[in-house]
Structure 1
Amino acid sequence: MANVVIIDDDSTFQSLLLEHCGLLGHEASLAGSLEEGKKLLSNHQADLVFLDVRLPDGNGLELLPYIHELPSSPEVIIITGMGDANGAEMAIKNGAWDYLQKPLSRQEIILHVKRALEYHEKKIQRSSHVNLKRDEIVGKSKALRFCLDQVAQCAETDSGVLITGETGTGKELFARAIHLNSSRSKRPFIVVDCASLPENLVESILFGHVKGAFTGANSDRRGLVEQADGGTLFIDEVGELPIEIQKSFLRLLQERVYRPLGKDREHTSDFRLVAATNRDLEAMVRQGTFRSDLFFRLNTFNIHLPPLRERGTDLEKLTMNFVFSICRRNRLPIKGVAPETLEALEAYSWPGNIRELENTLDKAIISDPMAPVLYPIHLPPEIRLCGIRSKVSLKHEQFPEEPSHHLPAPTTYSLTLPFFKEYRRLQLSRIEKQYLQRLLAETEGDGELACRLSGLSRSRLYGLLKIHSLFMKEFSSPKK
């Protein structure tokens, strides 16, 4: 028996769903608003949620992030009385199981309930039985656990994997985790860094060569593709692969054959491919700098790694882990980390992600090797200032200053004046959000009209809305 939560203010539809869930042997609970739904979900372990878009106190899509953070990780079926392609796009991109338009027939309801719960049950079983070898992948946030679930899924197969994400998010660590949890774990894991390959030697490095194949080829050399036979070939920064080599590489992936330079016959290699990039390969395909057929071949299974700023409490765990390993590597006593230091680290946006965090802690520890505790004074100025600004802003919100005509004239400098780049980033973000809020208000949430007025594409508009935690209401068509 599964637990189904129905969040809808339509009493007729509530009764219909309640009846059919009961016939299937499941327990259903009802809520008629966002507030009631949130309260119900906090007290019930849900397996499936039916969520209406138009509710008395707001847009149902606003509840999706909260639902995805629930320990039971329920599936969500969005239901709406008025179809909206933009709303559907937003729902699916935010992890909804499906997006359905009323009215729904009895067969439709039963089919979707069965399918969603079958998937949910297998997902829970898979998560509870898989004991991943994850080595240096630290953290327990929802975003990270989702990626680890994907590693568990693809490790059981031999299909190719494309890992995407910002620089420094740990793409090679995830590639190694896929290899270590696969049937090829006892075979080689070979790394090809496309960003550092000399363009005139790419084929030689990948496919190998024989003595005398070109000037400077003084001996035979095994290529990385041959070395990966039976194991995993990890192509890092695949977006940097020269377009002239992409055709040869595509044939390698399709046929598993290659020809070393200077050889008159082809060789075979049985490897599993894992590729990674921080670039937008789809945009590169549109620009003609990356082959579309190679992109489709690479993108069999995609794992997108979240940036550090979206991983919640993982930052503290990562910090403690790095401090421990850095101290051991440098033969130093293990340091403690002051709470104020963690606050400063959490206030920073980490554009360089995990790699930047590790480098920052490395420099902080080496700057004062014998200090028993890591204090904010050990951190770079830009990170300390982010922590100070965060505390000043919070205090100002709690205790706003009252205007006074007797205050002394300000000094010519300020200890909390932010760096220009950080200040510009914060102000641009504030201006963007204000513009989007006004756009939503003036268009009453009409997606098509908002795109026309702003000059933004649909995907760009919804991307900005997601960044600023804003949601588009449902409207069937633009106002005339």
Structure 2
Amino acid sequence: MSDSRPLILVIDDDPDILRLLTMRLSATGYRVTTAEHAQAALNRLEVEHPALVLSDIRLPDSDGLALFDQIRARHPSLPVILLTAHGTIPDAVEATARGAFAYLTKPFDGKQLTDKIAQALQLAAPSSTRTPEGEAWRSELISRSHRMEELLAEARLVAATDASILIRGESGSGKEVLARAIHRASPRAKAPFVAVNCGAIPEQLLESELFGHIKGAFTGAVANHRGLFQAAHGGTLFLDEIGDMPLPLQVKLLRVLQERAVRPVGASESMAVDVRILSATHRDLDAAMAEGQFREDLYYRLNVVSLQLPPLSERREDIPLLANHFLATVSEKYGRQVNGFAPDALEALSTAPWPGNVRQLYNVVEQVCALSTAPLVPLTLVQRALRVPTIEVLSLAEAKTRFERDYLVRLLKLTNGNVADAARLAERNRTEFYRLLQKHGLTPELFRADDVADGRQE
């Protein structure tokens, strides 16, 4: 069973301080990992996922502020508490102004330290998220990737607010899945979550779909129609592929966000709406703004907080988890007894390029599950689903031997089994050529026609 106690990274070049803090924090119920200098701390952060960093502000290989800035840049949601001597208090104050949670002066009071740590952990990750029930919000996001954990920590923090969020990421990387998770973690979780793909609906229909219309507003409007903003009232509206929204609709959307009211097509009065906006795009909106294809004022309305989903190729440690999760789901759906992947099949999945990201992985798993006739999915099915030709991996010696034999066969076929001609083409003497034939078990007579037209003999 994994240890669910919060992990704290303690950084200090004084071994006695490290021992004291380790004993005190362990006795309080935390797990502790330590580092004696800045580079060791950064290395720890690459492989471990501490809930909090407790660091001396003076280290032998780095300025304390520089280390704090590096931690902040790589792990923006990770709380940092600084330990400082009286002479470095100005640095600690500056770091606190730049985002450090707090600083304590040495010698520090033990209870004050543990209280500050408890307070930081409470604010950074509410206690409800430490329970299985509290993790339900992210249940669809299967991951053990360090980058994904950082992203989800940020998502969990911002979910508690009503800030608009722009989710960036490649097609198929899971932007809508993340948006649904943010909705589930938000105070609006019991209200509707409504999603619309702005690039999949023609412009003349998208306006009506978003804002609604009244009867008779246009040809075919035979009844009043409630738009998606009204359908999402009290909840969350997810605007997928917002970068593909036509400019005229961008103007109307901006007005809705400013006034918090919608006017259905053909109506003379607006209707108040209470909706939180999440949006997503795979496009470079900065480039789109520069080209006049996306409004700058709308961009800043939507991009209060930006979350970047990494492509699947940058979180390969998640591929086996996702593949087995999808296989269990699909095999149950189809009523198949497929229990897993052969080792070489799983390796092929883990090393594939995945231009279609998680969506492509699901499609591949669904295909191999439908075609598999054995409990374990074989490599050949995975290669077929990936549209990769079957490649037999040979050692260099094996490849050289195979090439040499195939070359000799082609020469014998070309010369109708005449060893003298074949040796001449290979630029080898007949004795050496015979040795090569013997090495590969090739008999020239097998390549001779029954009736040699030119009468040549060896």
TM range (shorter): 0.5 to 0.7
2:90 is aligned with 1:108 = yes
Q: Distance in 1 between matches of 2:43 and 2:9?
A: 20
Consecutive unaligned residues of structure 1, counting only runs of 5 or more, are 7-13, 29-43, 52-59, 99-103, 413-480
**Paired residue type of 2:157:** Q
Matches within 5 A, 1:414-429: none
Matches within 5 A, 1:276-287: 276-287=280-291
**Paired residue type of 2:141:** I
Match of 2:10 in 1: 4
From 231, 246, 256, the equivalent of 1:252 is: 256
> In 2, are the aligned partners of 1:344 and 1:387 still within 8 Å (CA)?
no
CA pair 158-48 structure 1, distance change in 2 beyond 3 A: farther
CA pair 26-306 structure 1, distance change in 2 beyond 3 A: same
From 176, 186, 195, the equivalent of 2:199 is: 195
Q: Distance in 1 between matches of 2:378 and 2:259?
A: 56
Post-superposition Cα deviations, 1:402-447, rounded to whole Å, max 9, x if no partner, equal 99999827769xxxxxxxxxxxxxxxxxxxxxxxxxxxxxxxxxxx
- In the TM superposition, what is the alpha-carbon distance from 1:202 to its structure 2 partner? 2.0
CA pair 78-138 structure 1, distance change in 2 beyond 3 A: farther
Secondary structure in 1 matching 2:196: strand
Match of 1:234 in 2: 238
From 364, 374, 378, the equivalent of 1:375 is: 378
Post-superposition Cα deviations, 1:192-245, rounded to whole Å, max 9, x if no partner, equal 110111112221111111121112222211111111111111111111111111
Match of 2:404 in 1: 408
Match of 2:219 in 1: 215
2:324 is aligned with 1:320 = yes
CA pair 67-90 structure 1, distance change in 2 beyond 3 A: closer
- In the TM superposition, what is the alpha-carbon distance from 1:134 to its structure 2 partner? 2.5
2:294 is aligned with 1:294 = no
Post-superposition Cα deviations, 1:360-407, rounded to whole Å, max 9, x if no partner, equal 111112224x43221111123484859958x66xx77xxxx7999998
Flag the structure with larger Rg.
2
2:171 is aligned with 1:140 = no
> Which structure carries more relative contact order (alpha carbon 8 Å, separation 6+)?
1
From 165, 168, 177, the equivalent of 2:169 is: 165
Q: Distance in 1 between matches of 2:144 and 2:407?
A: 46
Q: Distance in 1 between matches of 2:239 and 2:88?
A: 49
Match of 2:454 in 1: none
Q: Distance in 2 between matches of 1:380 and 1:266?
A: 56
2:329 is aligned with 1:342 = no
- In the TM superposition, what is the alpha-carbon distance from 1:267 to its structure 2 partner? 0.8
CA pair 199-407 structure 1, distance change in 2 beyond 3 A: closer
> In 2, are the aligned partners of 1:246 and 1:294 still within 8 Å (CA)?
yes
Match of 2:420 in 1: none
CA pair 376-290 structure 1, distance change in 2 beyond 3 A: same
Mean alpha-carbon deviation: is it higher for 117-126 or for 171-180?
Answer: 117-126
Match of 2:74 in 1: 94
From 364, 374, 378, the equivalent of 2:368 is: 364
Identity of aligned residues (%): 32
**Paired residue type of 1:107:** I
Q: Distance in 2 between matches of 1:384 and 1:213?
A: 49
Mean alpha-carbon deviation: is it higher for 328-337 or for 163-172?
Answer: 328-337
CA pair 201-124 structure 1, distance change in 2 beyond 3 A: closer
Q: Distance in 2 between matches of 1:136 and 1:27?
A: 36
Consecutive unaligned residues of structure 2, counting only runs of 5 or more, are 1-6, 24-30, 81-85, 104-115, 409-458
Mean alpha-carbon deviation: is it higher for 231-240 or for 333-342?
Answer: 333-342
**Paired residue type of 2:152:** L
> In 2, are the aligned partners of 1:344 and 1:388 still within 8 Å (CA)?
no
Post-superposition Cα deviations, 1:137-189, rounded to whole Å, max 9, x if no partner, equal 22232222222222321222222222111111111111111222222222211
Q: Distance in 2 between matches of 1:169 and 1:78?
A: 41
TM-score, normalising length: structure 1: 0.64
**Paired residue type of 2:88:** R
Post-superposition Cα deviations, 1:311-340, rounded to whole Å, max 9, x if no partner, equal 243211211111111122222234332112
Q: Distance in 2 between matches of 1:244 and 1:260?
A: 15
CA pair 304-386 structure 1, distance change in 2 beyond 3 A: farther
Post-superposition Cα deviations, 1:267-295, rounded to whole Å, max 9, x if no partner, equal 11111111111112222222221111111
**Paired residue type of 1:311:** R
Q: CA RMSD in A?
A: 4.2
CA pair 334-3 structure 1, distance change in 2 beyond 3 A: closer
**Paired residue type of 1:355:** R
Matches within 5 A, 1:35-184: 45-46=32-33, 51=38, 60=39, 64=42, 67-72=45-50, 75=53, 93-95=73-75, 106-111=88-93, 112=95, 115=101, 121-122=121-122, 123=124, 128=130, 130-184=134-188
Match of 1:351 in 2: 355
CA pair 199-156 structure 1, distance change in 2 beyond 3 A: same
Secondary structure in 2 matching 1:149: helix
